[in-house]
Amino acid sequence: MTHAHSRPDGGETTPDEVGLIQIRQPSLPSSYRMICFPSSRNSPLCYLAMAELLLPTVELLIVQYPSALPFEDDPDPAPGKELIDKVFESVRGWADRPFALFGHRMGAELAYEVGCRLERETYGAAPLTLFASGRTAPGHRGSLGPPALNCRVVALTARHDPRATLTGVRAWRRCTSGRFDLEVFPGASGYLKSYRREVVNIVHDQLISLGGPDPD
């Protein structure tokens, strides 16, 4: 397993830049890629653990947020336009194989916004699936208008999570014209760690069921 850090100019990142960590198996090219959007800039470790179970079929690309953004000032922040723009520009060139987006908490909303832009602005670079974890759907209490996504959406949540109620999580169904699935885990939080293998199986089964092409 190799960790490769990607930077916009090939040098050191600055506090305003988005970094990317690529986790892959060099000797066995992956059929799929999953771009991961953590809940904050300090929470990539659960994805490193998931990578050990997903490789070599699925390689991971983990987004590292600019350190200048004040995530810790808000326990449940919304991604601003500046962050959406930076992340979109950083990941848009990584669609050279079938890929999915996986976001947790704030990262789920960020993955949604980036996915919408990928479908709208980048020809041939649409995600296969958006995995939205531990987050209510954007605008779930109001009218969303026409679905913004065409890809499959899989929403994950804990049954008793006060920050992601089942009603709000089910509203992800209204965000896509594609298929929707809901996965509910016991407890109030922490399922990405406690039920890591089950989450990985969901990711793996969802991607394999789409029957994407084999890598070159």
Rounded distance, CA 189 to CA 181, Å?
19
Q: pTM here?
A: 0.89
Is the predicted pLDDT of residue 174 greater than 80, yes or no?
yes
Among 20-24, 44-48, 111-115, the least confident range: 44-48
The model's confidence at residue 42, banded by pLDDT at 50, 70 and 90, is low
Beta strands in 52-111 (DSSP E): 58-64, 99-104
Is the Cβ–Cβ distance between 182 and 170 less than 8 Å? Answer: yes
What is the pLDDT, as a whole number, of residue 215? 40
Question: What is the model's pLDDT at position 202?
Answer: 96
Average pLDDT of span 5-20: 63
Most confident of the ranges 12-16, 80-84, 168-172: 168-172
Alpha-carbon span 128 to 154, nearest angstrom: 11
With a CB cutoff of 8 Å and minimum separation 6, the contacts of 21 are 3, 4, 5, 6, 44, 60, 61, 62, 64
pLDDT for 48 equals 87
pLDDT of res. 46: 84
- Cβ neighbors of 19 (< 8 A, separation 6 or more) are 5, 6, 7, 13, 63, 64
pLDDT tens by residue, 125-172 = 899 999 999 999 997 666 567 889 999 999 999 999 999 999 999 999
* Residue 184 host element (H or E): strand 180-185
What pLDDT does 164 receive? Answer: 93
pLDDT above 90 coverage of the chain, percent: 63
At 14 the pLDDT is 60
Which three-class secondary structure state does DSSP give residue 178? coil
Residue 15 clears pLDDT 80, i.e. is over it: no
Q: How far apart are CA 110 and CA 83, in angstroms?
A: 8
Q: What is the pLDDT of residues 47-66, one digit of tens each?
A: 888 999 999 999 999 999 88
Phi and psi at residue 13, to the nearest 5° = -75, 155
